[in-house]
């Protein structure tokens, strides 16, 4: 089957990386909306229009399913996309539920400003009935850092140290990485939180959900394909990605 992954940039690669393992016989299209990234600091209506345009492009490629590998895009557009297209649309939301279920302490949610502003998140938190255990913080600048393939510089660690300086981690049990770009900074974030905080993300859950949704749609079992390169076609805002960027993205997909 052909499955499309959509993100504002390279964040969704952290989800695709897991999908390549769980779904060894499928082909993937990866769409980074680089012309319009970052999404998280833009108005909702603008991001909504960008996601719809990207999804229309992907729909024209005869895809069997679309994964919004982006919490921000999901927050603003998943409902509309599900009503609009004949193929399944799998979204992502910050993994607050699993974080709350794993303990009784407080949970810090990291996401983009737009995700945190959206009513979808508010509804999720209030439906869980544990709002008093949840705090949220935006880490928007991690997205442009990642888009510049800057994962380790002093500027990144200074930004994180500054944004997280006032958090008393002794009051918390876990932190949710509620933006797919943030997974590139797992180690740096863990340095700030200290080793006792569990970092939780929704990537595996999303890929498991994708596999479940695809299962009844399969007509025959295909043979596994072993090389990541021919299995993924990369697009940047409606155009083929450049070979140089594809090379960097493939390196991220095969990183441990
Ligand atoms: N990767 C996206 C997410 O999961 C957002 C990045 C952006 O701000 O563009 O929320």
Active site residue 192: no
Catalytic residue list contains 136: no
Q: Is the pLDDT of residue 221 over 80?
A: no
Q: What's the pLDDT score for residue 17?
A: 96
- Domain 2-92+203-254 identical in fold to domain 96-200: yes
Does residue 81 sit in helix, strand or coil?
A: helix
Q: Which residue among 37, 55, 63, 70 is the active-site one? A: 70
State the average pLDDT over residues 101-128. 92
Residues 75, 121 contacting (CB under 8 angstroms):
yes
pLDDT tens digits along 44-98: 999 999 999 999 999 999 999 999 999 999 999 999 999 999 999 999 999 999 9
Q: Which atom of ligand 1 is nearest to the CA of 8?
A: 9
What does the pLDDT read at residue 238? 87
Angstrom CA distances, 238 to 29, 72, 110, 113, 241, stand at 11, 19, 29, 26, 9
Ligand 1 center to 188 CA (angstroms)? 18
With a Cβ cut-off of 6 Å, ligand 1 is lined by: 7-8, 11, 37-40, 70-72, 112, 115, 143, 179-181
Distance from the alpha carbon of residue 9 to the mean position of ligand 1, in angstroms: 8
What number is the average pLDDT over the span 191-197?
97
Is residue 160 within 8 A of residue 145, CB to CB? The reply is no
Mean pLDDT (whole number) for 189-216: 97
> Residue 72 Cα, ligand 1 centroid: separation in angstroms?
5
Q: Is the bond leading into 38 cis (omega within 30 degrees of zero)? A: yes
Phi, psi of 90 (to 5 degrees): -105, 125
Q: Average pLDDT for residues 218-244, to the nearest whole number? A: 83
Alpha helices in the chain (DSSP H): 13-22, 44-59, 71-84, 96-101, 113-117, 119-128, 142-147, 154-164, 186-193, 203-214, 228-231, 243-254
Total residue count of the chain as it appears in this document: 256
Q: For position 126, what pLDDT does the model report?
A: 87
What is 96-200's CATH topology?
Rossmann fold (3.40.50)
Other C-beta atoms closer than 10 Å to the C-beta of 241 total 19
Ligand 1 centre to CA of 146 (Å) is: 10
Q: CATH number of the domain at 2-92+203-254, please? A: 3.40.50.1860
- What pLDDT score was predicted for residue 23? 95
Residue ranges of domains in the chain: 2-92+203-254, 96-200
Catalytic member of 51, 138, 179, 236:
179
Q: What is the predicted pLDDT for the residue at 228?
A: 67
In angstroms, the CA 107 to CA 189 distance is: 14
Q: Please give the pLDDT value at position 115.
A: 96
Residue 229 banded pLDDT, cuts 50, 70, 90: low
Closest ligand 1 atom to Cα of 115: 10
CA dist 218 and 122 (Å) reads 36
- Per-residue pLDDT of 128-180, as tens digits, reads 888 899 999 999 999 999 999 999 999 999 999 999 999 999 999 999 999 99
């Amino acid at each position: 089957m052909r499955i499309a992954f959509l993100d504002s940039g390279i964040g969704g690669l952290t989800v695709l990386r897991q999908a390549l393992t769980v779904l060894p016989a499928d082909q993937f299209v990866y769409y980074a909306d680089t012309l319009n990234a970052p999404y998280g600091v833009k108005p909702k209506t603008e991001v909504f229009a960008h996601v719809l345009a990207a999804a229309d492009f992907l729909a024209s490629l005869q895809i069997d399913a679309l994964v919004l590998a982006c919490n921000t895009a999901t927050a603003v557009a998943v409902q509309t996309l599900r009503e609009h297209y004949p193929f399944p649309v799998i979204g992502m939301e910050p993994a607050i539920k699993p974080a709350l279920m794993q303990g009784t302490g407080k949970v810090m949610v990291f996401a983009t400003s737009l995700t945190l502003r959206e009513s979808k998140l508010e509804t999720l938190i209030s439906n869980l009935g544990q709002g008093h255990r949840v705090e949220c913080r935006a880490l928007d600048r991690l997205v442009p850092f990642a888009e510049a393939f800057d994962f380790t510089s002093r500027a990144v660690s200074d930004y994180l140290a500054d944004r997280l300086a006032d958090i008393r981690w002794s009051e918390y049990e876990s932190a949710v990485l509620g933006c797919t770009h943030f997974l590139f900074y797992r180690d740096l974030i863990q340095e700030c939180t200290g080793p006792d905080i569990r970092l939780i993300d929704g990537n595996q859950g999303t890929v498991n959900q994708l596999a479940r949704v695809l299962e009844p749609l399969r007509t025959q079992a295909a043979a596994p394909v072993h090389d990541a390169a021919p299995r993924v076609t990369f697009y940047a805002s409606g155009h083929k990605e450049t070979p140089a960027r594809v090379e960097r993205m493939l390196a991220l997909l095969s990183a441990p």
